[in-house]
Chain A
Amino acid sequence: MKDALKVTRKEIREILRDKRVRNAAFVAPMFVIFLMMMLFGFLGETIGKHENQRIHVVGGDNSLIKLLKASKYNIVPIASVDEGTKLIKDGKASLVLEFTPDYDNLVTSHKQVHIKAFYDEKESKAQIAFASVQKELVEMNKVAVAATLKSKGVDAAFAEPVVLDRNPIKIGESNVSDILITILPYMITVYAFFGGLSTGSELVAGEKEKNTLETLLIAPIRRRDIALGKFFALCIVCLAGSMSALLGVIIAGTSGLPIFHTVFPHGLGLGPEHILAIILTLIPTVAFFASLLLAVSTMAKNTREASQFLALVNLVVLTPAIFSQFLGFTDFASQRWISFVPVLNTSVTLRQALQGKIDYLGMFITIGVSAVLATIAIQIAIHLFHQEKVLVRV
């Protein structure tokens, strides 16, 4: 083990001097996550603001338009629906509302009024504007119905005979926002793999290519120690990748900047117990990724071949990681078999940790599965290191 650590120290020293790896594993994840949080924050802020919703109206001024203006919507009068349709097609308008000229008369005489809304259904911005106006109308209708009923001496409650009361149950102590719960497990898991990708292919395949492996193999240390030394170094890089992503979240969440208010409505929301659970789950996952990368790199003739092999391995890691983002829409997250699916189980455990409701059995199964896979992959790498093929593949 002493010899393995000598190899690890040397590898880490070289890795830290490689600008490409420093950026990919240490800086990029933190930076990307921070920017992503900023983007989500910006979108959350702007989407919710009426000032940013421009609504084109046809049919003169009326009480509803006045109400929308009072609610700070950006109202733009236009001459006709044709003009509005053209503006929508040109991408210059999101929502066009056509009012009948006698809108106010019909409303005051308690007649039903139809407002025609024109928008591109595929445009998110248009959908948001439509939903926003619809919400205003629901509120307005509610007030109008209540007033009418009151004038007739009827209790306003008759307008809504059945009401659904929201009673959310808080499970765990987590205050982490939904958006983080959805994307963070994916990002942390993926960065654990991608952070070590270039280092992985360099560690053995790169040594073969640069003709440094032979001098190492001739040194009187066991091949097992060489493989383990490189494995430990790779574990550190992979762990750094995911920890860097986590650090990006922590910096954004604790910065107190207004732009992060939507994403972190209650501050960071991550307690030390969440972070501990994340790290505990990640360590064996990282070991699995590192051993997988090392085995592939040992098998490959050169870095080019290693990259080709790793392109396939990417799929094995990415597919379950992507699927993990949609778990919230299914019942899978609570099913036991998920704990046995590599990568996906890690994402699920991280998700639960962020929600503050850790399934300890699931977490232990996840750690166990990752540890078993890591052991198998590192044994394969050690076995490959004992083969002549590690140096000469005919």
Chain B
Amino acid sequence: MVRTESLVKHFADPKQGLVKAVDGVSIEASPGQIFGLLGANGAGKTTMLRMLSTVLQPTSGKAWVAGFDVEKDPQKVRAAIGFMSSSTALYGRLNPKELLEYFGGLYGLEGAKLKERVAYVIERLQIGEFVDRYCDKLSTGQKQRVSIARTMIHDPEVMFFDEPTAGLDVVMSQSVMEFIEEARDVGKTVIFSTHIMSEVERLCDHIAVIHEGVIREEGTVGDLLAVTNEKNLEQAFLKLVEYHRTNPAEAAK
């Protein structure tokens, strides 16, 4: 389970002054559920996930992941989560097997248990054919599979996906989404951050629309459509973030 109460993260930027990246967010995601964080670039999604994964400390508010307080028990939180993002990379001079063994070791797996788990994820994600090749030499799709394998090496209770399909083609995106669905089906709590409406519609059981660090609305897709009185999620989202079409003539004035 993941729960936050009035979570706030402010940054002091020398140029922009105080940046309110996340401003009083309260959410709750349950096991066996995919919780979508829907927002445009810079809305605060990544900051939110970084606080939940203990990389950033909240300015104020509280958050619990898998029952552990992110501030009081950061190590236990980290042991319980898997984090995957399109921006995170692999170690280029390690091969997938070495990389999985390394991360498995960091997550406390050892000896036969580590070997067993590495063999399982290699088999499960069909990494075997390129398991001895350096990660630098892998294709984008192969890297993505290794990334997923790294995320699940320790069989985490909670999984965070930060725009995991960004930059991937349709086929690769499909396999990532299938993996996320499978994670939900085995009872994991999944937080899925994206700005792609079709992915939200397909995957998310519950959606929070985040804009300028604030949750504008949350609920199922149906709830959002009903609240905004729109026919599709894209229009509903734009309404919630108060998007106004720029009039070129007015802009010129």
Contacts and interface: CB of A to CB of B under 8 A. Distances in A.
B192 interface: no
A218 B91 CA distance: 15
B248 interface: no
A212 B88 contact: yes
Interface in B44-101: 50, 53-57, 75-76, 78-79, 81, 83, 85, 87-94, 98
B89 A210 contact: yes
B250 interface: no
A14 B102 CA distance: 12
- Centre residue among A212, A214, A222 by max chain B CB count within 10 A: A214
B90 to A, nearest CB: 7
Nearest to B53: A218
Which residue among B11, B50, B79 has the maximum number of chain A CB atoms within 10 Å of its CB? B50
A10 B94 contact: yes
A214 B50 CA distance: 9
Q: Interface size class for chain B?
A: 35 or more
B108 to A, nearest CB: 7
Contacts of B85: 214
B125 interface: no
Interface residues of A, number: 24
Interface string B1-13: 0000000000111
Interface stretch (A94-102, A275-283, A386-394): A386-394
Contacts of B94: 10, 13-14
Given A13-B98, A14-B93, A394 B13 contact: yes
B147 to A, nearest CB: 9
Given A14-B91, A18-B93, A215-B83, A6 B75 contact: no
B102 A6 contact: yes
Contacts of B107: 219-220
Nearest to A18: B93
Looking at A10, A222, A388, the one whose CB has the most chain B CB atoms below 10 A away is A10
Q: Which residue, of B11, B81, B102, has the highest number of chain A Cβ atoms within 10 A?
A: B102
Interface string B86-129: 01111111100010001101111000000000000000000000
A217 interface: yes
Interface in A163-216: 210-212, 214-216
Contacts of B75: 220-222
B150 interface: yes
A217 B55 contact: yes
A212 B83 contact: no
B19 interface: yes
A14 to B, nearest CB: 4
A114 interface: no
Nearest to A5: B105
A211 B88 contact: yes
B19 A394 contact: yes
Contacts of A394: 11-14, 19
Contact of B102 (A10, A17, A210, A211): A10
Nearest to A210: B89
Contact of A212 (B54, B79, B89): B89
Interface in A213-265: 214-222
25 contacts: A6-B102, A6-B105, A14-B91, A17-B93, A211-B87, A211-B89, A212-B88, A214-B83, A214-B85, A214-B88, A215-B83, A218-B53, A218-B55, A219-B103, A219-B106, A220-B75, A220-B79, A220-B106, A220-B107, A221-B75, A221-B106, A392-B11, A392-B56, A394-B12, A394-B19
4 smallest A-B Cβ distances: which pairs? A220-B79, A220-B78, A219-B106, A17-B93
